[in-house]
Structure formats: C-alpha cells, structure tokens
Amino acid sequence: MPLLTPNSVHIDQPLTNLTIAYVQDQTNFIADKVFPVIGVDKQSDKYYIYDRDNMNRTGDVKALAPRTEVNRIGMSLSTDSFYADVYGLGMDFDQQTLANEDAALDIRAAGAQTLTNRLLIHREEQFASNFFAASIWGSESTPSNLWSDYTNGTPIADVTTARRTMQLKSGGFKPNTMVVGKEVRDVLINHPDILARLNGGATVSNTALITNAKLAEIFEVENFYVMEAVKNTSVEGVAESNAFIGGKHALLVHGPAQGGLMTPMAGATFAWNNLAGVNNLGVTVESFSDDALKRQQVAEHIQVKMSYDMKVTGADLGYFFDTVVA
C-alpha cells in the first residue's frame, strides 16, 4: 500500500522572511569618525592656515614703564585647497529578472545596499592610504621591540614617548585620538603591560574585559578606534582573499569633533553637500531608466555616489607607528 511521506506532501520553497547577505556592520568603518567631516557647498575651495611658529614665540613681551609702548609683532597666513572627487558604482536590472523576482527578495534594495557597502570599503581604503601609512605625518617610528613581543614590547611607554614628541613638535598639542588596526588591538588586549593597568590586575589566564574605552584611558586619549573593515582583494571569479584594511599600524592624532574657526586639527574630510539625496552615510542613491538603457534590455539602473576629499591639514598633529606587531 503506498504511503504518503513528508517529501510527497511538501515542495520546498524559499522562505519569505529570511535571506542571507554579508553586509559589514557599520561599526567596522571609522573613516568618518577620526577626523571632522566638513560639509562644503562647492566641489573645490581654499581654507586659511595661521602661522603656527608665531603663536608660541617668546621674547617680545616686556615690562612697561609709564609712557612706553609695547613691542609690536605681526602674523602671517597661508592657504591650502581641497577638491572633492565624486566616487560612484552602479548595477543594472533587466525587466525579465525583475518580473520573475520571488517574494522574499527585494533585489533593488539589496543592490543599493551592496553598492553602498562597496563604497564604504573604498572610503576606508582611502582613509588608510591618505592617513594610515608611512611618510605622511610629522613624526613616525617602528618600535624597536614589537608590541606582539610580550616579553620586551612596551606599547604604553612607546605611546608615552610619541605623545611627548608630538606635543613638542606641534607646539603644545597632545593627541586625543588613537587609531589601530584590528590585528594590533588583538595583541594589545593580551599584553602584560595592558593587563597590569586594569583594576586589581589581570593576566592572560586571569582575564578581564578590555573595552576600547579602557584602552583609551590607558593610552590617555579621548577616542580609541579600531579599523575592523575587511576587503576582498581578489577579482571576480577567483576565490576571495580577505584582509583587514587597517594592517598592523597605529596612529596618534589631535583633532576636534567638529571643524571651526581657529581650530587645530590633524586631518579633515571635505564632503561636498550638493549631491542630491545624500543620506546619513554621505551616500546618494539614484535609480533611473531611459530609452538608451531599454535598448540594452536594462529596465532600471541603480547607482550610488559619494563626494569628498580626505586631507592632512596638520602633519605635525599626528604620530604614526609603522608595523607594531609581527
């Protein structure tokens, strides 16, 4: 006698309440957090820089006798400029694919999110090349004993020395932000120097939770950021090859949360405001169709764009550690 089975009474269908997509968490990206993002109305412009040497010079102040004049000093200005390139990426959808889309899918929205993720990765790469590399900042070094050497490495002492060096070279400004690669943070949270600074002490075997806020406190900065974004360096069709964008480096910088007049800052991102529909990530998403696209069997084209220029605005307000872990 034939019997019904589970397979005979059900045909597998895609779930309508679940899809899987590998979109990175926004907390992985730090390119818009380290330096002020300055909204600009024009794609290019200039900004003024006051002469730093004159701010701290001594020797001109004197005691004044009656009817004597004060010494007079001058001041000087220079300018620098920015140009906010427009970066973009797009995706096409044909009518047959859109018409055949399953209920669980929203490929337009998924496409926009994929494109946005790719642009954020690109911006993070630019942050690394513009700020998180050698031969950019006023001071840099490689520790004589790497921080991954738990016997001889001295990350706290190295940062203390770097703070003092930067403070002298910049005319009195201490770093208030520290940026490290993911691999560096993973070394620091198990380093004996760090564990010894925790309340009550800790060891690798007797561990304690070490947050970024705690690391900021230990290194005497207000902000401690970790470059956790991952990029795939392989071309399409080749097995993925993932790597952390931040590498094995560390950076100390001084800068405000927001730019303003008479404000010293190590770097800035000049973001062009006049791209239509810019969202909170600095991305504009556009969707359109026209006869030219339809002749190519493209029903809809989605593109995302960003416009910015990442610039070092005060090289002496940064100290770069090139390769601090093995």
pLDDT tens, 254-304? 999 888 888 999 999 999 987 776 776 778 888 787 777 677 767 788 889
Q: Is the pLDDT of residue 121 over 70?
A: yes
User: Positive or negative CA dihedral for 16, 20, 26, 31?
Assistant: negative
| Domain assignment present for 68 | no
pLDDT band for position 15 (cuts 50, 70, 90): low
Domain that holds residue 242: 30-50+77-321
CB-CB neighbours of 309 under 10 Å? 20
What does the alpha-carbon distance between residue 151 and residue 249 come to, in Å, rounded to a whole number? 20
| Residue 260 contacts residue 30 (beta carbons within 8 Å) | no
Mean pLDDT over the full length of the chain:
89
Q: What is the mean pLDDT of residues 188-214?
A: 80
Least confident interval from 142-156, 208-222, 281-295: 281-295
Could you tell me how far CA 21 lies from the centroid of its own chain?
23
Count Cβ atoms within 10 A of the Cβ of residue 201 and give its class: 0-12 exposed, 13-18 middle, 19 or more buried: exposed
| Domain assignment present for 69 | no
What does the alpha-carbon distance between residue 322 and residue 193 come to, in Å, rounded to a whole number? 20
Q: Is the pLDDT of residue 17 over 90?
A: no
| Domain assignment present for 221 | yes
Q: Higher pLDDT residue, 204 or 271?
A: 271
Report the amino acid identity of residue 203: T
What does the alpha-carbon distance between residue 126 and residue 224 come to, in Å, rounded to a whole number? 20
Closest CA to 177 of 186, 189, 169, 166: 166
pLDDT at 314: 96
pLDDT at 20: 66
| Domain assignment present for 12 | no
| Domain assignment present for 60 | no
pTM for this entry: 0.88
| Domain assignment present for 248 | yes
Q: Is the pLDDT of residue 145 over 80?
A: yes
| Domain assignment present for 7 | no
Q: Higher pLDDT residue, 24 or 125?
A: 125
Q: Higher pLDDT residue, 301 or 133?
A: 133
Phi and psi angles of residue 148, each rounded to the nearest 5 degrees, phi first: -75, -10
By DSSP bridging, strand 250-253 and strand 177-181 are antiparallel
Q: Is the pLDDT of residue 307 over 90?
A: yes
What does the alpha-carbon distance between residue 164 and residue 122 come to, in Å, rounded to a whole number? 34
Number of domains in the chain: 1
Q: Is the pLDDT of residue 14 over 90?
A: no
Q: How far apart are the first and last CA of the chain?
A: 69
CATH number of the domain at 236, please. 3.90.1690.10
Q: What is the mean pLDDT of residues 208-217?
A: 91
Q: Is the pLDDT of residue 204 over 60?
A: no
Q: In a 3-state reduction of DSSP, which class is residue 322? A: coil
| Domain assignment present for 224 | yes
Q: Higher pLDDT residue, 200 or 226?
A: 226
pLDDT at 38: 93
Q: Higher pLDDT residue, 228 or 302?
A: 228
Q: What is the mean pLDDT of residues 4-16?
A: 65
Percent with pLDDT over 70 in the chain: 89
CB-CB neighbours of 259 under 10 Å? 18
pLDDT at 280: 67
